Structure 1
Amino acid sequence: MGTHALVGGVLNVFDQPSDSGGSGLPPSGSQGPPPDPNLLIAVDSDVTFSTRDYGGRTSYVAHHGKLGQYFRLGVEEYHVAVHFDGRRSLGEIHEQISNDGVQWSVEDVARFASELVKQKIASAHQAATEPKPDETDSGSADSDVNGNGAIDPAAPPNKPSRLQKAMQLLSLTVSQRFPLMDGHVIAQKCDRVVGPAFSRVGRLVWIVLVGSGMLVVLKHHDEFAIEIRRLFDPGIWVFLLLFWCLAKVLHEIGHAVCAYRNGVRIGKTGVMFFLLAPLAYVDVTDAWKLPKRLQRVQIALAGVYLELAVASIAAWAWWLLPIGTPRHFAAQIFLVAGPATLLVNANPLLRLDGYYVLSDLLEIPNLRMHGRAQLGQRIEWVLFGLPVGTPRMFGWRRPAATFHAICSVVFQFFWMSGLVVAVAMWARGLGIVLACFALLLWAILPLGRWIYKIWTLQPGQGFGLNLYRRRLIGYSLIIVTVLQHVSFSSSPFDRRVSVVVRFQDEQVARASADAFVTAVHVQRGDRVKSGMLLVELSQPELIVQRDQKADDILLAQQRAVQFRRRGELSRTAAEMENAESLQRQLVELNEQIAGLRVTAIRDGVITSTDPRRLLGNYAKRGQELVRVSDPREKELLAVVGREDMATYQAAVKSSSLSSVRLRGGQTFYASPAMLLPRAIEALPHPALAASVGGPVAVEPSTNPDREMQMIQPHAQSETPLDAVTSLMVHSGQVGTMTISDDRSLLTRIYDDMVASATPQ
């Protein structure tokens, strides 16, 4: 995933929008001592201001070059900020802005100055005046504001607490960033190769290429669905990982080149590790200087733009290549560069490319911050009755930000949970440690801070409790009760076991030897009786070999008699052994010769596809010749994984009917049969293989007699179907049998997460 996203981000400094359309300040009138009139504030020389229009309101963006951060100010805030030149005191600035028509109090000016110093875009110092004898400093060393309500120039701005330092250290264990080189130089060199893709002609070619690639995929969506199931084919993991790295490098080059062509200065580029996963990144923070929204959107989507072009080329390659490994690899390239990129990088619920595009389109800077702040306030209002603060946005943008926050929180909960489980399983011990750090950083510490905030809102009353503390304890008891319930109560959901329909006691006649088919006496749909001749084959060489073996046996027996008469017992034993071996070969030849006349061993119907096509052809040993079965006698073959065996056995003992749903829409009920004694790896039916759209994960078999085998051993059961149901369904139909889940709900959720994080 690309991490070209802003290093600092656009930060709204204040809470309440003003009528001028900016971020505004809270209303004046706060209690407290007056600010120090001799305090001087100077905006850092590295800070530059530019105008920006957000939602039809004019704002100003303050860019701190050294910090690489952006801050959004309203018209009034900007008017006040430009007066912080380090020469005039707060009192003088208040007098000046009052004359200019800005109705701020001295306290408002002091609070604004304090916020600028806290954000490190301004500094404070005292004017050269003699202190009065009775003045004392009542501020603490950890405060940015002295006892007079103004900024303390001696205090370090925004000093991190111990908890903040601990969270910073935890962040380093989960995510580390390593700058490697100047991204501007890379963009200049790559512009000659990649740059034309962003020209007018390049965009036209991209539209044709991506559009045609989508048509190829849509036209062959069934085949691509099979390729999706083979995404984790171990045979191509190394090549797929190599391509993934190259694709992400191309992704970041796209951001850099597009920013370069729009006149944006590119910062450092390098690699970062997020939960052990290597990710490329490039710093295009200066893209926020661009006044045109379309230019910023183009830069944000440049990486996805190039990857989709690669995915379309891979789709065409898949369609043109013959069946084999290159074709399969092309399909995997399409999946990685296409759907996977759209799911991650273009997803507006993750703070990546799609998020910044949505933020620009909605004209809501810091969409995530605003939405989650509003969502948090709503939750606190519902749970504790805390007042909702003055909104930072108005109109449709306010509910839009809240809705985005709800969707992103839900999505990221499952997304991050899956990542944590995957890392814990794939990286073993180190992965478990990183997963614990991530859980501590993303869940436990933020939850602890929020609980501490609610607990300390008011001093304790009776028994040290107050309204907020009592509610907090009550909600905690409810959560504990719910967790206990889901931990021990049975899951309300069901388990599903894969099944396939097949004929019961079906006769599958195969060629006993390599031979020519000389006669076929039946055709599809014919009803036959047991013992009826079906197919005749001819192989004269077998007769010759049989006669030769018979002669060899006779000679070996005669030599054994002669050696015994001479008293040569060892040679006698050798000849007898040779005769026995030849006798076994003769029996096998006789069986092959007898098998050249294929007869029915049961009553039934010929279900083979046109057996007469075999007439005059050469059949290899083991080749299927004809099938005999009864359409009224079918059975359900169920394959049960190790994790479902106990539950399946419980369903068998209960003798309850289970719902069976087959592809094609047929639904009926059947009583599960007992599992066969042993689990097997051999694929019991070809329709079950994931490689052909079935539900069972398979891999190439080590046995030359079969092509695929199941990745994990499965037990089997054979459930006979009644005549009516047998006539309703078709052999080879795949479906699922539903059985009750005996796990707790919490265990069910955990097992599903583990299964989704484990490559099949």
Structure 2
Amino acid sequence: MASTPISIELPDIPAPPPLPSLRQELRIEPGAPLITGAPSWNLFDPVRHAFFQLGRAEFTVLSRWASGKMDGIGEELAAHGLTGEEADEAFNAVIEFASSNALTVEPIGQEAVAAYTAQRAAGKKAAWKWLLDNYLFIRLPLVKPARFLERTIDRVRPLWSIYSLIFFAVLALSSLFLVSRQWDAFLASFLYFFSWQGLAAYGLGLIFVKILHELGHAYTATRYGCRVPSMGVSFLVMMPVLYTDTTSAWRLKSRKQRLAIDCAGVATELMIASIATMAWVLLPDGTLRSVAFVLATTSWIMSLAVNLNPFMRFDGYYVLSDLLNVPNLQPRAFALGRWKLREVLFSLGDPVPEMAPRRLHRGMILYAYGTWIYRLFLFTGIAILVYNVFFQPLGLILAVVEMAVFVFRPIVAELKIWYEMRTRIFSGRRGKAWVWILGGLVLAAILPLDRSVSGYAVLTPVGASPIIAGEAARVEQVFVSNGARVSAGDPLIELTAPEITAQAAATKVRIAQLQLQFGRAVADDRDLSNRSVIERELARERNKLAGLEKRADKLILRAPVSGVVSGVAPDVHSGRWLEGSEVIAHVITPQNYDLQAFVREDDVWRLEQGAGGTFVAADAGGPSREAKLLEISTSAIERLDQPILASSNGGPIATDKDGDLLKPREAYYRVRLIAEQGEIGDEDYQIQLVPGSVQISTKGRSFAGWALGEVARMVRRVI
């Protein structure tokens, strides 16, 4: 029996559409090796003056694409270790890269033009988005210096010689040594900046130095055959900053040449600094010496403090990038940093974004975290600057935009990625642990855990009586010590004043003489006429003697009230001289204590009369007391009447001196409490003025409520 063949109809698989041609002006050039040591190539787009670094797979696809020979590309990718899905992914990635960067030539026709226009419109940012991203950083090209640089480069070529390097190195070291010999005079020159003439000179010097800085980059790039298409000015936080476009330096295979271009600006400023510093040493006082000082300080400070900063895209960043041989260091380091953060937090097991030596891998991750921390402080500082410089409410709006765009937007973008990965995150053990941790943090934020208000306080015995000599005297004997119980009238310290003793002795002699004259006046008619005069003078001398005796009696210092002796300094001993105005000791009645506290304006509204509190001394060995709130002032204090709490005396309240007055820098309200009554131990008898802090009980407040209140108060101040 003959068998009938079975025919199977296969579905028609449409052929892929032909790839559009690459633009003919694109060039592929050999580049520096990758961080793994593999070869690389640079794709140069002369229209946009942009460079793209290519690996082996990208080079293979683009080179065959440009030649139109796409047959056999799979075999060539396989020869380089890419097969199956990996080869397809690499091929599709190159196609997407070429399309997104407009590297292809669209077919001629209305549909193609419309598609290309739509593509450009889709990629173009809206005006408000552009302003959000660029209102603090705007770049304006001013000149195209390529021809000028090529014509004049021979005039500066000697600066790259070894002799020039030795000369400026010796000049810099010599000038710094000579300045160190006149360091006080050099520092005193800074006072010149505190005038409009000094500020103008500094501004002109800065412009001059920065122009030469950028020319240093431009000439060095030109020396190595790199074209400089533009130079101009960038506005960073409304401050003009010059720039030079040296993008073509990525064409150079030599890392040393790229480093030379990166360091050329700093090297130029250091040359200027060495010349200007030596000029300051040699020139006499006058205008030229001031100009030299401006150029020297501007160059040294700007070179070391600003240009070498690797966390912003200044010279230091590009130097670090070339030293590590990692182009586009920041985005690549950020990708590694985000990957490491997710692995530490959630242990997802995702592959590393790019392979690199272990040491470099760790360094890039640390660099990413360091840059994020630096930018957090930098952009927060810029937001505060914008808030204070611009008029309100514009300053507040710009500050909020600054924080939203440069601080919160990257955080929100990462959180969106976490949300998309939520299934994987919450399926792991660490993800589940984070659910509990975040839940606990949210609960802690909404619970009214803050149930007290703190303030700076001074504890004072209500019945404290100061012991003061009243006049200059010498200590003869001390009868008591700190902690001794005394009754009213008990002698404490005996003092003597030689001046009083001498005056009393002279007065007694004078009284004796007058009494003798008065006795003769009764028997002698010649003295009888002077009797009334002698009587008046005798009465005056007796009154004077009585006053001196009272003063001498007061030099025996006695307890004015019954209580406990406190505050007798160890240096109050026999033979010491006292000025008379200082407090030698106190006699206190320790059953009652007054507590003066100072509370910030943001917290005083939470206080209620009758609330309880606890005083804790600043000294760890000092007393603590339970207290009750009695009074709350209705207005902020204008001066601080407790100097022991002032910052100028080592206290916690920041103050400024206005003559003899201490004015707080912040708004503080005075509140008065009465400390707990009752007998106390001997260890507390030393108390006179005890600084510390007080915690006053209030109604509970949550952290979320506090944050919303702070934001509301800030908005009210602005509006």
| Residue of structure 1 aligned with 2:98, choices 110, 117, 138 | 117
What is the RMSD computed on CA atoms of the aligned residues? 7.0
For 1:509-658, list aligned pairs within 5 A: 627-630=581-584, 640=598, 642-643=600-601, 646=604, 654-658=612-616
Query: Is the 8 Å Cα contact of residues 455 and 600 (structure 2) preserved in structure 1?
Result: no
The verdict on how the C-alpha distance between 1:336 and 1:259 changes in structure 2, with shifts beyond 3 A counting, is closer
Residue in 2 that maps onto 1:620: none
Structure 1 position 429, deviation (Å): 1.0
| Structure 2 residues not aligned, in runs of 5+ | 1-12, 281-292, 480-491, 501-547, 559-567
Q: Which amino acid aligns with 1:485?
A: A
| Residue of structure 1 aligned with 2:398, choices 413, 428, 434 | 434
Q: Which amino acid aligns with 1:123?
A: T
Structure 1 position 629, deviation (Å): 2.6
TM-score normalised over the length of structure 2: 0.55
Residue in 2 that maps onto 1:256: 214
For 1:394-409, list aligned pairs within 5 A: 394-396=356-358, 397-409=360-372
Q: How many angstroms apart in 2 are the aligned matches of 1:497 and 1:646? A: 13
Query: Is the 8 Å Cα contact of residues 615 and 692 (structure 2) preserved in structure 1?
Result: no
Residue in 2 that maps onto 1:168: 130
Structure 1 position 432, deviation (Å): 1.9
**Radius of gyration: which is bigger?**
2
The verdict on how the C-alpha distance between 1:483 and 1:451 changes in structure 2, with shifts beyond 3 A counting, is same
Q: Secondary structure at the match of 1:272?
A: strand
Q: Which amino acid aligns with 1:412?
A: R
Deviations 1:311-334 (A, max 9, x none): 9x99xx9xxxxxxxxxxxx9xx99
Q: How many angstroms apart in 2 are the aligned matches of 1:380 and 1:737? A: 43
Residue in 2 that maps onto 1:94: 73
Q: Secondary structure at the match of 1:373?
A: helix
For 1:481-520, list aligned pairs within 5 A: 482-483=441-442, 485-486=444-445, 488-490=447-449, 497=456
Count of aligned pairs: 571
Structure 1 position 256, deviation (Å): 1.6
Q: How many angstroms apart in 2 are the aligned matches of 1:637 and 1:335? A: 54
Query: Is the 8 Å Cα contact of residues 679 and 715 (structure 1) preserved in structure 2?
Result: yes
Is residue 2:419 matched to residue 1:419? no
Identity of aligned residues (%): 15
Q: Which amino acid aligns with 1:437?
A: V
Q: Secondary structure at the match of 1:630?
A: strand
The verdict on how the C-alpha distance between 1:605 and 1:199 changes in structure 2, with shifts beyond 3 A counting, is same
Residue in 2 that maps onto 1:617: none
Structure 1 position 273, deviation (Å): 3.9
Q: Secondary structure at the match of 1:124?
A: coil
Structure 1 position 413, deviation (Å): 3.5
Structure 1 position 355, deviation (Å): 3.8
Query: Is the 8 Å Cα contact of residues 526 and 605 (structure 1) preserved in structure 2?
Result: no
Q: How many angstroms apart in 2 are the aligned matches of 1:345 and 1:525? A: 71
Is residue 2:333 matched to residue 1:367? no
Q: Which amino acid aligns with 2:600?
A: R
Is residue 2:249 matched to residue 1:268? no
Q: Secondary structure at the match of 1:123?
A: coil
Structure 1 position 660, deviation (Å): 1.7
Residue in 1 that maps onto 2:522: none
Q: Which amino acid aligns with 2:445?
A: V
Q: Which amino acid aligns with 1:420?
A: A
Query: Is the 8 Å Cα contact of residues 271 and 278 (structure 1) preserved in structure 2?
Result: yes
Query: Is the 8 Å Cα contact of residues 597 and 671 (structure 2) preserved in structure 1?
Result: yes
For 1:333-412, list aligned pairs within 5 A: 346-377=308-339, 388-389=350-351, 391-396=353-358, 397-412=360-375
The verdict on how the C-alpha distance between 1:206 and 1:43 changes in structure 2, with shifts beyond 3 A counting, is farther
Q: How many angstroms apart in 1 are the aligned matches of 2:209 and 2:587? A: 58
Structure 1 position 392, deviation (Å): 1.1
| Structure 1 residues not aligned, in runs of 5+ | 1-31, 129-136, 143-153, 318-329, 458-464, 511-519, 537-593, 614-623
Q: Which amino acid aligns with 1:628?
A: E
Structure 1 position 272, deviation (Å): 0.7
Q: Which amino acid aligns with 1:430?
A: L
Is residue 2:13 matched to residue 1:59? no
Query: Is the 8 Å Cα contact of residues 57 and 77 (structure 2) preserved in structure 1?
Result: no
Q: How many angstroms apart in 1 are the aligned matches of 2:20 and 2:198? A: 61
The verdict on how the C-alpha distance between 1:55 and 1:658 changes in structure 2, with shifts beyond 3 A counting, is farther
Query: Is the 8 Å Cα contact of residues 421 and 754 (structure 1) preserved in structure 2?
Result: no
Q: Which amino acid aligns with 1:271?
A: S
Query: Is the 8 Å Cα contact of residues 63 and 71 (structure 1) preserved in structure 2?
Result: yes
| Residue of structure 1 aligned with 2:637, choices 676, 679, 696 | 679
Q: Which amino acid aligns with 2:583?
A: S
Structure 1 position 61, deviation (Å): 3.5
Deviations 1:488-523 (A, max 9, x none): 54469996859999x99597999xxxxxxxxx7559
Of the structure 1 ranges 114-123 and 177-186, higher mean CA displacement relative to structure 2 is found in: 177-186
Structure 1 position 114, deviation (Å): 1.9
Query: Is the 8 Å Cα contact of residues 83 and 93 (structure 1) preserved in structure 2?
Result: no
Q: Which amino acid aligns with 1:122?
A: L
Q: Which amino acid aligns with 2:325?
A: E
For 1:93-172, list aligned pairs within 5 A: 94=73, 107=88, 110-111=91-92, 113-118=94-99, 120=101, 122-125=103-106, 160=122, 167-172=129-134
Query: Is the 8 Å Cα contact of residues 681 and 712 (structure 1) preserved in structure 2?
Result: no
Q: Secondary structure at the match of 2:134?
A: helix
Residue in 1 that maps onto 2:516: none
Deviations 1:62-115 (A, max 9, x none): 444443433222245345544554xx3252583895799796788567535424
Q: How many angstroms apart in 2 are the aligned matches of 1:633 and 1:102? A: 94
Query: Is the 8 Å Cα contact of residues 60 and 72 (structure 1) preserved in structure 2?
Result: yes
Q: Secondary structure at the match of 1:271?
A: strand
Q: How many angstroms apart in 1 are the aligned matches of 2:356 and 2:325? A: 12
For 1:202-217, list aligned pairs within 5 A: 202-206=168-172
Query: Is the 8 Å Cα contact of residues 26 and 44 (structure 2) preserved in structure 1?
Result: no
Structure 1 position 200, deviation (Å): 3.6
Q: Which amino acid aligns with 1:486?
A: A
Q: How many angstroms apart in 1 are the aligned matches of 2:638 and 2:660? A: 14
Q: How many angstroms apart in 1 are the aligned matches of 2:179 and 2:609? A: 48
The verdict on how the C-alpha distance between 1:693 and 1:252 changes in structure 2, with shifts beyond 3 A counting, is farther
For 1:77-88, list aligned pairs within 5 A: 77-78=58-59, 80-85=61-66, 88=67
Q: How many angstroms apart in 1 are the aligned matches of 2:705 and 2:299? A: 31
TM-score normalised over the length of structure 1: 0.53
Q: Which amino acid aligns with 1:376?
A: R
Q: Secondary structure at the match of 1:433?
A: helix
Q: How many angstroms apart in 2 are the aligned matches of 1:241 and 1:487? A: 51
Q: Secondary structure at the match of 2:232?
A: strand
Q: How many angstroms apart in 1 are the aligned matches of 2:203 and 2:381? A: 21
The verdict on how the C-alpha distance between 1:688 and 1:448 changes in structure 2, with shifts beyond 3 A counting, is closer
Deviations 1:133-156 (A, max 9, x none): xxxx9x9987xxxxxxxxxxx586
Deviations 1:356-381 (A, max 9, x none): 44333333333332233234345566
Structure 1 position 270, deviation (Å): 1.1
Of the structure 1 ranges 352-361 and 715-724, higher mean CA displacement relative to structure 2 is found in: 715-724
Q: How many angstroms apart in 1 are the aligned matches of 2:404 and 2:176? A: 43
The verdict on how the C-alpha distance between 1:748 and 1:289 changes in structure 2, with shifts beyond 3 A counting, is farther
Q: How many angstroms apart in 2 are the aligned matches of 1:628 and 1:44? A: 92
Structure 1 position 268, deviation (Å): 1.8
